[in-house]
Amino acid sequence: MDKKKYYLEISDNLSALLAGEFDLIASLANTSALLYERLEGVNWVGFYFSDGQELVLGPFQGKVACVRIAFDKGVCGKAFSHNQVQRIADVHAFPGHIACDGASNAEIVFPLVVNGRILGVLDIDSPNFDRFDQEDENGLQHLVNQLCQHLAMCSMPKFY
């Protein structure tokens, strides 16, 4: 299957998972699980959200992760602070890379923009150098756009 069809299939899967579910955490948890399960050659998929001071870990799949990331640090911080996708072929060559998992060699990070406001990022790591190409970026950007449209309708979780 070519990548365009592959990402369209994942988009259909995401639509089915999100249909009728408007809890933020449930939606993010299932999205990270879907991407972790369906994307080949990845070892971590998850979210970081701004608390106004820094990025804080959200739902994810993979090994234990860094909990807090400064806005100006690492690939996630750069994606957030510049509101720009970061596709890094070799994270060890990225100035200021934060190594939460030493097995990660490539990374792609997408800003999450909901109603014109950047809320956080989707972070995907791979043990394979140069894992993500332009087709991956395009396909994943479509999924991120789809997710952000859904998040605009989600309710914040209530903790008691």
pLDDT digits (tens, 9 = 90+) for 93-117: 998 788 777 789 999 999 999 999 9
Tokens 């909901």 -> residue: 114
Q: What local confidence, expressed as pLDDT, does residue 31 receive?
A: 98
How far is CA 90 from each of CA 83, 94, 103, rounded to the nearest angstrom?
21, 7, 12
Residue 16 has pLDDT above 80, yes or no: yes
What CA–CA distance (Å, rounded) separates 116 from 25? 20
Tell me what percent of the residues of the chain surpass a pLDDT of 90. Answer: 89
The gap between the terminal CA atoms of the chain, to the nearest Å, is 47
pLDDT band at 160; cut points 50, 70, 90: very low
Q: What local confidence, expressed as pLDDT, does residue 30 receive?
A: 98
Residue 156 has pLDDT above 80, yes or no: no
Q: What local confidence, expressed as pLDDT, does residue 101 receive?
A: 73
For the segment 18-65, what is each residue's pLDDT rounded down to a tens digit?
A: 999 999 999 999 999 999 999 999 999 999 999 999 999 999 999 999
Q: What is the mean pLDDT of residues 122-136?
A: 98
Q: What local confidence, expressed as pLDDT, does residue 83 receive?
A: 98
**pTM across the whole model:** 0.95
What CA–CA distance (Å, rounded) separates 141 from 157? 25
Residue 159 has pLDDT above 80, yes or no: no
Neighbours of 37 (CB within 10 A): 12
Residue 158 has pLDDT above 80, yes or no: no
What CA–CA distance (Å, rounded) separates 30 from 138? 21
Q: Which residue has the higher pLDDT, 145 or 101?
A: 145
Token readout for 70 is 């400064």
Give all domains of the chain, ordered by start, each with its CATH number: 3-11+21-152 (3.30.450.40)
Torsion sign over Cα 76, 78, 79, 83: positive
Helix, strand, coil percentages in the chain from 3-state DSSP, rounded to 5: 40, 25, 35
Q: What is the mean pLDDT of residues 107-131?
A: 97
Tokens 């490539």 -> residue: 106
